[in-house]
Every structure is written in C-alpha cells, then in structure tokens.
C-alpha cells in the first residue's frame, strides 16, 4: 500500500529529533543534516531549493526509522489492501485532532478511499507508543471498512451538547472493542484493560461498582460489537445496564431492572447473598 507523508510533518519530526539530541549534547545528527542541506544554497537556484530540501528531509526521515515503523504497522493489516488506495500521515493540530479517518478521492467507489492518520509531532519522540498508536488507529480503520461492523459517518446527536456526550461515550466503547481484540491477539496497544475500565467507570459513576464491572467484562470479551450496537449503548444508559441482567455478579444473586417511571430514575433491585433486599435508585444523567 502506498503511504504518503505530509512534508510539514516530516520536517517538524526531523527538527524535533535534532533539537532533542542537541539538548543532550549530541550534535552528530545536526552536523550530518547541515552537511547535506548547506550545499543546496550554493548549488541550486532559489526556485529549485524547496524540492531539494524535501528530498534530503525524506531521506533523513527514513534514516531515523520513522518510515519503516509506520509501514510495518500498516503491514500488520493486510485486509486493508484493496479496500483503499493508500494512506496519508499528516500532522495533528492538537490532541483532539489526533486520530484516523477515511476520505474519498474522485469517484464514489470503495477503491477511492484513503486512510488519513493525524499525529502529534511529539509522538515521534515516543517510538514504542507511536507504533501502538498507529496499530490502534488502523484497527479502527479496519472496523470502518469491514462489513460486519457496519460503520456509518453520521451525526450522533440532535444538538451540540448531545453530540458531544454521545461522541465521548461512543469513542470509549469503540476503544474498548479495539484494544480488547488487539490484546487478545497478543498485540501491544495504547491502553490495557485497567485503563479502559477507568474510562468506562468515569462515564457511569452512579451505577454500582459490581454491576459496572460485570458490564465492562461483557463488553471487553465481545468480539462482535457493531456501529449500531455501540451507538445504541452510547445514547441510552438503560441499554448499558440491561447488559448486566442475568449475569453472576459478586455479592448479588439477582439483578432486576424495573422502571421508576418519572424523574429519569432507574431502579435496580438486587438481592445480596445474605437475603436482604435493597433497592438502589440511580439518577440517569
């Protein structure tokens, strides 16, 4: 698969590497860079210099191992070959801009799609993490292109506030789905089970811990989540809690959901092992 790189990303990644080494007192790479770039000013007219600098920087980028690292990550996903015409690695403006997406070129066939991965320049100083991040993002792309996942690019809410809430939940559910499968395959990724549980837990603080942990374990083991299912969970906390019905939960023999009708309150009745019936009122935010 052809992988293209944003020239600005290449340049900034190189300069960041030079700066880091200089701060450690190592000027060898800086001297090597200037030995190649300085003659350009003498040997090429003004209009030809940008192209020459780009060639030098591309060679430097490869010498630093950045190209091979990203290419090897793409090679881990042979199923993407034939579904897209290539990938583009570009610079993310900020942490919220970092991530992956698909874009279409001329025509409307699947073969015209390109993978876009936006990265923060600082990632090139964390090689181990960068490889995990590329792998994580390509797993998302694999889902987007897979028929079984059924991905659709659509609005997730009716207004900006709802869109933001649903998008955050959707993103966490999808990340759970992505990283759990990668880890089961023996692949390193950007977060482990404990990290993803912490994110999930932060979304639903009002659900009892035992129930929440049981729900998360079901999600973590699920190999067949789809776009529609994740969206359903992201939109409705009752759907999330429903996952716990019938599960063997620590200290709980039976979980039964009943409607508390008004006031957006969900009642979960459960019977501890000692036999005392307790009713917990969960305010749905």
Helix axes 7-23, 28-43, angle to 10 degrees: 130
Q: Is 115 helix (H, G, I), strand (E, B) or coil?
A: strand
- Model confidence, pTM: 0.82
Contact 165, 157 (CB under 8 A): yes
Quick one: which of 111, 108, 129, 178 has its CA closest to 149? 178
Helix (H) or strand (E) holding 283: strand 278-283
Is pLDDT of 254 > 80? no
Residues 179/189, Cβ–Cβ less than 8 Å: yes
Please give the backbone phi and psi of residue 100, each rounded to the nearest 5 degrees, phi first: -125, 155
Q: Tens of pLDDT along 44-88?
A: 999 999 999 999 999 999 999 999 999 999 999 999 998 999 999
Domain boundaries, the chain: 3-127, 160-283
* pLDDT the model gives residue 155: 80
Is residue 32 a contact partner of residue 99, using CB atoms and an 8 Å limit?
no
In the prediction, which pLDDT does 280 show?
A: 36
Residue listed under structure tokens 């994740």: 230
Question: Which band of pLDDT confidence, cut at 50, 70 and 90, is reported for residue 156?
Answer: confident
Give the pLDDT band of residue 250 (cuts 50, 70, 90).
Answer: low
d(CA 9, CA 91): 5
* Cβ-Cβ contacts under 8 Å for 36 (sequence gap 6 or more): 56, 60
d(CA 175, CA 74): 19
- The per-residue pLDDT for range 11-49, each reduced to its tens digit, is 999 999 999 999 999 999 999 999 999 999 999 999 999
Mean pLDDT of the chain: 87
> Tokens for 56?
């030098």
Which of 146-150, 204-208, 250-254 is the least confident region? 250-254
pLDDT at 106: 58
């Amino acid at each position: 698969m052809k992988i293209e790189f944003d020239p600005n990303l290449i340049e900034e990644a190189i300069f960041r590497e030079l700066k880091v080494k200089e701060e450690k007192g190592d000027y060898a790479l800086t001297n090597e860079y200037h030995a190649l770039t300085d003659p350009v000013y003498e040997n090429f007219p003004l209009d030809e210099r940008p192209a020459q600098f780009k060639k030098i920087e591309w060679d430097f980028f490869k010498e630093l191992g950045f190209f091979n690292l990203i290419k090897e990550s793409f090679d881990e996903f042979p199923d993407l070959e034939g579904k897209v015409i290539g990938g583009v690695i570009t610079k993310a403006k900020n942490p919220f801009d970092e991530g992956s997406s698909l874009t279409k070129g001329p025509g409307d066939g699947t073969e015209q799609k390109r993978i876009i991965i936006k990265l923060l320049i600082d990632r090139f100083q964390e090689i181990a993490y960068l490889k995990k991040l590329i792998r994580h993002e390509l797993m998302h792309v694999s889902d987007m292109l897979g028929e079984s996942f059924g991905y659709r690019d659509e609005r997730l809410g009716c207004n900006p506030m709802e869109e933001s809430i649903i998008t955050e939940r959707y993103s966490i559910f999808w990340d759970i789905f992505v990283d759990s499968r990668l880890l089961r395959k023996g692949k390193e990724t950007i977060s482990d089970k404990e990290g993803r549980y912490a994110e999930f837990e932060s979304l639903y603080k009002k659900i009892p811990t035992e129930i929440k942990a049981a729900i998360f374990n079901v999600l973590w083991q699920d190999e067949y989540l789809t776009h529609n299912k994740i969206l359903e969970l992201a939109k409705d906390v009752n759907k999330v809690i429903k996952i716990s019905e019938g599960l063997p939960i620590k200290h709980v023999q039976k979980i039964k959901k009943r409607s508390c009708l008004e006031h957006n309150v969900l009642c979960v009745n459960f019977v501890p092992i000692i036999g005392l019936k307790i009713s917990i009122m969960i305010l749905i935010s």
